[in-house]
């Protein structure tokens, strides 16, 4: 305590306020009042210079607005984080959609049953359920970066395991690799809202979530187009040539997936130096899984949304998994399968982008 009754600012308090601005002292976003930090700032008497370094005093003045509230900053690095995550999610979409348009062709090239060829797509939905609980636990306990890293490594490992079908000549390595990659899927697909709330401001969260959620469908679109460069309907008449072409397709896809996953392993950061919004600064996450689940089950609006979403997504996922074998009975070839699946997904991507803009423009309901 200084003479005159003014309190000195502790090093811990100074560091906390110092982190609320960038190296240039600039801020491009100001949030509403946060009483906790505001009360701390009131302990500092700006009229007293006793024992206060001039540079520290300047730091404190630049980290608060004219009303004494902390400045919440939007760092430009948030776009790099979103881009790296989106590239990894595109890789997930490519892996999941590998055989969507060519499942019927694989039944003839590798001698698979219709059930086995459909399983190449269903495995990603089957493995999502148990792996999802593991992904939630990792995200809650260790945070954003470890969850993305684990998911990306599973996707990479699964992709390279599939490459062994080039040497074995049978389809077993593909199934093994698909199972491993599918385990990593929920680690990445559960992340968009977390990235949006951690790195983006209040007005940007809807768009950031929409962009992150669109990445997987974009990867699936790529997987609809890429087989056209390596495979053709004529491969069904010559299985040996068909196996070579499919191996080439898997090789190209794996290299692209690897290229897309590397940035997520390298450049993703856990959080910005200071929170971009009041929501991101709220560290009260003491609610456990059981308590949270109980509240969700008792929420009528959530239950209604859950039912509607699962009906819509379930139909879309099921149709996508069996579409190739179903369409082949109506003499659809590889090109027709790709085009019809492409139109289906492009419509969803455009609508997702439109709804993201709509949420950005419209004010939330009270």
Residues 157-165: what's their mean pLDDT?
Answer: 95
Assign 44 a pLDDT band (cuts: 50, 70, 90).
very low
Is 39 a residue whose pLDDT tops 50? Answer: no
Let me know the angle formed at the C-alpha of 344 by 95 and 330, rounded to the nearest 5 degrees. 95
Is 135 a residue whose pLDDT tops 90? Answer: yes
The H or E element containing residue 128 is helix 114-142
Burial of 44 (0-12, 13-18, 19+ CB in 10 A): buried
Question: Which tokens belong to 140?
Answer: 């809650």
- Distance from C-alpha of 98 to C-alpha of 109, rounded to nearest angstrom: 15
- Distance from C-alpha of 229 to C-alpha of 225, rounded to nearest angstrom: 8
The label of the residue with tokens 């062709």 reads: 105
Q: Where in the chain is the domain with CATH 1.20.1250.20?
A: 77-313+320-361
- Distance from C-alpha of 324 to C-alpha of 199, rounded to nearest angstrom: 40
- Condensed to tens digits (0 to 9), the pLDDT of residues 2-32 reads 444 444 444 444 445 444 444 444 444 444 4
Q: What is residue 364's predicted lDDT score, i.e. its pLDDT?
A: 58
Mean pLDDT of all residues belonging to the chain? 80
| DSSP character at residue 8 | P
Is 324 a residue whose pLDDT tops 90? Answer: no
CATH superfamily assigned to domain 77-313+320-361:
MFS general substrate transporter like domains (1.20.1250.20)
Residues 104-114: what's their mean pLDDT?
Answer: 91
- Condensed to tens digits (0 to 9), the pLDDT of residues 262-320 reads 999 999 999 998 788 766 665 555 566 677 788 888 899 999 988 998 888 888 888 88
Q: Exposure pattern of 264-277 as b/e (b: 16+ CB <10 Å)?
A: beeebbeebebbbb
Terminal CA-CA length for the chain: 46
The label of the residue with tokens 């999941």 reads: 96
């Amino acid at each position: 305590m200084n003479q005159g009754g003014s309190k000195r600012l502790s090093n811990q308090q100074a560091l906390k306020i110092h982190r609320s601005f960038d190296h240039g002292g600039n801020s491009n976003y100001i949030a509403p009042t946060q009483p906790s930090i505001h009360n701390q700032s009131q302990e500092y008497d700006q009229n007293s210079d006793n024992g206060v370094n001039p540079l520290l005093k300047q730091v404190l003045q630049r980290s608060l607005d004219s009303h004494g509230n902390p400045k919440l900053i939007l760092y430009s690095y948030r776009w790099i984080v979103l881009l790296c995550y989106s590239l990894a999610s595109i890789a997930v979409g490519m892996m999941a959609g590998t055989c969507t348009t060519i499942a019927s062709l694989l039944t003839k090239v590798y001698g698979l049953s219709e059930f086995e060829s459909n399983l190449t797509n269903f495995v990603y939905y089957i493995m999502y359920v148990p792996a999802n609980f593991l992904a939630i636990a990792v995200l809650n306990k260790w945070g954003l970066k470890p969850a993305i890293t684990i998911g990306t490594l599973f996707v990479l490992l699964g992709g390279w395991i599939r490459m062994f079908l080039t040497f074995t000549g049978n389809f077993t390595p593909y199934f093994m690799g698909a199972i491993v990659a599918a385990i990593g899927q929920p680690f990445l697909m559960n992340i968009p809202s977390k990235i949006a709330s951690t790195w983006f401001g209040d007005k940007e969260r809807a768009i950031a979530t929409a962009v992150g959620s669109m990445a997987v469908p974009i990867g699936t679109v790529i997987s609809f187009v890429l087989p056209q460069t390596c495979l053709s309907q004529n491969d069904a008449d010559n299985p040996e040539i068909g196996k070579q072409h499919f191996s080439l397709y898997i090789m190209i896809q794996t290299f692209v997936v690897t290229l897309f996953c590397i940035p997520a392993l390298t450049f993703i950061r856990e959080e910005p130096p200071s929170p971009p919004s009041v929501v991101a600064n709220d560290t009260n996450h003491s609610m456990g899984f059981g308590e949270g689940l109980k509240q969700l089950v008792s929420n009528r609006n959530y239950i209604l949304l859950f039912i509607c979403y699962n009906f819509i997504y379930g139909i879309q996922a099921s149709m996508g998994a069996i579409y190739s074998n179903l369409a082949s009975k109506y003499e659809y070839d590889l090109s027709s399968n790709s085009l019809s699946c492409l139109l289906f997904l492009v419509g969803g991507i455009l609508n997702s982008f439109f709804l993201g803009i709509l949420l950005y423009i419209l004010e939330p309901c009270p």
